[in-house]
Amino acid sequence: QKEVEQNSGPLSVPEGAIASLNCTYSDRGSQSFFWYRQYSGKSPELIMFIYSNGDKEDGRFTAQLNKASQYVSLLIRDSQPSDSATYLCAPREGFDNQGGKLIFGQGTELSVKP
């Protein structure tokens, strides 16, 4: 059974702080990792993805990947109330990056307080 574990939350941070969202996964064959944001009542929205060990930055978001530790994280700098949502970590199953199934964690609810 391939599993993805995320902080259950809710995670509460003050506006302007850094929010850190963590995810561990069991499938050693996973090579690509996706982060989605889901507002209540809406569908998941892709934030970013990462394939290589290390950091990948996109605006206020930084994804970090450590395949040896089977760990991926998402940092949100200068958090805003509009970042309040559930964040879903989704490793792609398998040993290649092409079209495999995503395995979803339960998500971490983030609340950014003004």
Partner 1 sequence: SAVISQKPSRDICQRGTSLTIQCQVDSQVTMMFWYRQQPGQSLTLIATANQGSEATYESGFVIDKFPISRPNLTFSTLTVSNMSPEDSSIYLCSVVTVTDTQYFGPGTRLTVL
User: What residues make contact with partner 1 under the rule CB under 8 A?
Assistant: 32, 34, 36, 42-46, 49, 88, 97-99, 101-102, 104-107
Please say which residue, 73 or 107, places its beta carbon nearer to partner 1: 107
Please say which residue, 18 or 101, places its beta carbon nearer to partner 1: 101
CB of 69 to partner 1, least distance (A): 23
Bridge partners (DSSP) of residue 63 are: 56, 74
Say how far apart CA 59 and CA 66 lie, in whole Å. Answer: 21
Q: Which amino acid is at 67?
A: K
Q: Which amino acid is at 48?
A: M
CB of 59 to partner 1, least distance (A): 16
Q: Is the Cα torsion angle 109, 105, 36, 50 positive or negative in sign? A: positive
Say how far apart CA 23 and CA 45 lie, in whole Å. Answer: 18
Please say which residue, 43 or 82, places its beta carbon nearer to partner 1: 43
Say how far apart CA 71 and CA 35 lie, in whole Å. Answer: 13
Please say which residue, 25 or 36, places its beta carbon nearer to partner 1: 36
CB of 57 to partner 1, least distance (A): 17
CB of 32 to partner 1, least distance (A): 8
